[in-house]
Structure 1
Amino acid sequence: MAERQIENLLDFIQTICELDGKLIRNGADKNENLLFRGQSNMAYELIPSLGRNRKFSVDISILDEERNLIEMAKYKMPEIFHSDLLPLELLALLQHHGIPTRLLDVTENALVALYFACCSDNDKNGEVFAFKNNETDVANYPVINAIADSYRFARGTFCTLSLFY
């Protein structure tokens, strides 16, 4: 994992352009692109909300907790969390409504990630992660087709852009 300290917006944009250029120079096919995640505090781990504040990275009760959260959402708001949703749609709606999920927000727009890295915790240094993504692999990832049995995963390569403001 490469890490680079960024001092200003110009540095950030140049770094993103360099990463994108490397992807192209290294023979990326048309399905490869970059995804970004901004976090307002460098101390935060790269873990979805369902897995945060746990003693162990693999906690068997996490599956029960997820199942209970899903069932409660379906019971309390059946008009939103109906049974014909695909698993990924269901998880995205849960997250949108503030319910902890196994999903980790990422974006194709580096400036959106930068916003989230800078929007709160003004006394902390933010962080932007850049992920090399292959859309073909993601389309085949099990979470799209079923509720998977783990919540912590990382695919491909990523680098950290440490932001100081």
Structure 2
Amino acid sequence: MLSCVLTACTVLTPGKALKDPAFAGPYYGAPRDVAAFDPCKALPAEPEQWWMQKAVAPARPGTAIPGTCFHIFGTGGPRDVGVLVGVRAMPYDGEKAKFPDGHQAQFDGHTTYLFCGEDGTGAECTAWAALAPEQTLLVSTYQRGSSASAMLPTVQRYLLHVLERLPKAR
């Protein structure tokens, strides 16, 4: 019986060879209308989901990374969650190469790269989702006193929330 299974797995199939999925380029999912996207309005001030907290302050444009907006959620205390959101005019693979210890996943049809790290005072997780060859959605979360493993589901939730609200192109 084992020889039949092994033989079945080694039978050659005629036709063109498929590209190795490990080397496939990013999937962009449904085209998005990034011109209509305002990163400062990407996340609600009032919780819309069970996992969300209330905004501590109005969202403000990011200073370190142009085209982003910084949101703070929580109670106004030291364990508030900071969330940076923006669409960057850059290829997805460029960011992926800078953080080789992350991992790749799919979110809402978009190839996404996730990287988390700890700095001794807290943890940050960042997600880069491929929107188009030269457009990448950035969602980054930080929380003092947290761990990378605790922040990973947080960045994933915020990423999905933003992707669901990012208008599809017509």
State the TM-score, normalized to the length of structure 2.
0.31
Larger Rg: 2
Structure (1/2) with the larger helix percentage: 1
Structure (1/2) with the larger strand percentage: 2
Higher RCO by CA contacts (8 Å cutoff, separation 6 or greater)? 1
